[in-house]
Structure 1
């Protein structure tokens, strides 16, 4: 009687579980909450927020410049004239309005 060597059921079950765990952890490393795709999303969002921060900082710098130019220490008469005309809607007698 000749017996062929068959792997034990425990060995097959061990490798099946090890393979399933390997697939699960690989999927989690790529698709999970802390995976590669999430990392790419976070990097893109950080870049977008950095761009928005730069735009807001530019707006703040412009507003600080205008505020300084209208302050008591440094008064820009041309800017004051422009702002009063804009707010009050007034013109000088020598100006022509084209609509």
Structure 2
């Protein structure tokens, strides 16, 4: 007499729960708040913000340079003339405006 060995209900239940937990944790590791995809998004955002920071630091350095060149201690007459022309619309007497 041969007896067929069916797995017991406890073993089937154990492996079903283990498989479900494995699927859940795998999904969480890939798609979750701290998963691989979120990590890639954060790295891309960090790179974009680093580029923005470098661009803004360059703009700040340029503004500091212009401010220093128009300060009381150091006056760049060419820059002053350029600013007067662009902001106030001033012209010299010997210039002709073409529109």
TM-score calculated relative to the size of structure 1: 0.95
- Specify every segment of 5 or more residues in structure 2 that has no aligned partner in the other structure, as ranges: none
- Specify every segment of 5 or more residues in structure 1 that has no aligned partner in the other structure, as ranges: none
For residues 45 and 88 of structure 1, the distance between their equivalents in structure 2, rounded to whole angstroms, comes to 41
Structure 1, residues 20-50: CA drift from partner, whole Å, max 9, x if none?
1000000000000000000000000000000
TM-score calculated relative to the size of structure 2: 0.95
Q: Where do 4+ consecutive residues of structure 1 move more than 4 Å?
A: none
Which structure 2 residues correspond to residues 8-87 of structure 1 after superposition, within 5 A?
8-87=8-87
Structure 1, residues 55-77: CA drift from partner, whole Å, max 9, x if none?
11111000000000001111000
Instruction: Count how many residue pairs are aligned between Structure 1 and Structure 2.
Output: 99
For residues 9 and 64 of structure 1, the distance between their equivalents in structure 2, rounded to whole angstroms, comes to 76
